Amino acid sequence: MSRTFKLGVLAAAVMAAAPAAQAFEAGDFILRAGVAHVAPDDSSDSITVGGSPLLNGADSQVTVDANTQLGLRGTYMFTSNLGVGLLAATPFKHDINGGGDIPSDVKLGETKHLPPTLTLQYFPMQSSSALQPYVGVGVNYTTFFEEKTTGTLDSVVAAEYSIPGASTSLELDDSIGVAFEFGLDYMLSENFGLNAAIWWADINTDAKVKVFDNAGNFAAETDEFEVEIDPMVYMVGFTYKF
């Protein structure tokens, strides 16, 4: 057997083994980081006070705008096909705008939220494949904080309810709901690759607006109303396996 032929066989063997080095296997930790964009598919109940419309003769609702932040995700592989993933991110900040009969360009408030999401992920491809699509299902927990209302809302409520100098506050309950994901990793080397993923999460929050007089004393509050956010979340970034 010639030396050239032996070298050719060895090179072919190395090339055949190379994709396996890029595979996901049991015990691997996979970290992903990139840009995450939350696009709400939002709706809300009409806002009422004692069963009557918040604003006389108007159907008052709210909408929630989109936001982009740094997305962070980790996966631990139990087998070469099954893993558990956790989605995290820097806090998303959303403007709360008018809906229904209130123009959508009228800002009524704002909030921040964190949406940790735990999913069971299935990777259908063989472990030798550098291209690794996956699907996941799990649970989302969204916590809201730093809720604020605007001077615009304060002024409208003060005029509507004859409370000079009125101020308002916003309360949003945390949410627990189902989440689904689809993603794709393409490993460029044994440890480094590219990633793209999308999620849908069931995020609903019960909201309430409280009104205070110019001395800070409680004056009134809205009935509790539901806001459905139900966003699509899109992320592109990098994958690192260790």
Helix (H, G, I), strand (E, B) or coil at 203: coil
Q: pLDDT tens-digit profile of 42-97?
A: 999 999 998 889 888 789 999 999 999 999 999 999 999 999 999 999 999 999 99
| Calpha distance 41→199 (Å, rounded) | 13
pLDDT for the residue numbered 57: 78
pTM score, two decimals?
0.83
In 10-152 the beta strands, taken as DSSP E runs, fall at 29-39, 43-44, 48-49, 52-53, 60-64, 67-77, 82-89, 92-100, 107-114, 117-122, 131-149
Helix (H, G, I), strand (E, B) or coil at 105: coil
Helix (H, G, I), strand (E, B) or coil at 12: helix
Taking Cα atoms as reference points, which of 67, 77, 36 lies closest to residue 196? 36
Element spanning 34, H or E: strand 29-39
Cβ atoms of 209 and 200 within 8 Å: the answer is no
Cβ atoms of 95 and 110 within 8 Å: the answer is yes
CATH number at residue 206: 2.40.160.20
Cβ atoms of 194 and 222 within 8 Å: the answer is no
Q: Is the pLDDT of residue 18 over 60?
A: no
Domain total of the chain? 1
| Calpha distance 150→134 (Å, rounded) | 42
Amino acid identity, position 30: I
Please provide residue 231's backbone torsions phi and psi, each rounded to the nearest 5 degrees. -85, 155
Q: Which of 6-15, 27-36, 44-53, 90-99 is predicted with the least confidence, judged by mean pLDDT?
A: 6-15
Half-sphere exposure of 208 (CA within 13 A, CB side): 11
Taking Cα atoms as reference points, which of 65, 68, 11, 16 lies closest to residue 42? 65
pLDDT for the residue numbered 54: 87
- 230 lies in which domain range? 3-241
Q: Which of 12-26, 133-147, 151-165, 168-182 is predicted with the least confidence, judged by mean pLDDT?
A: 12-26
Q: pLDDT tens-digit profile of 172-194?
A: 999 999 999 999 999 999 899 99
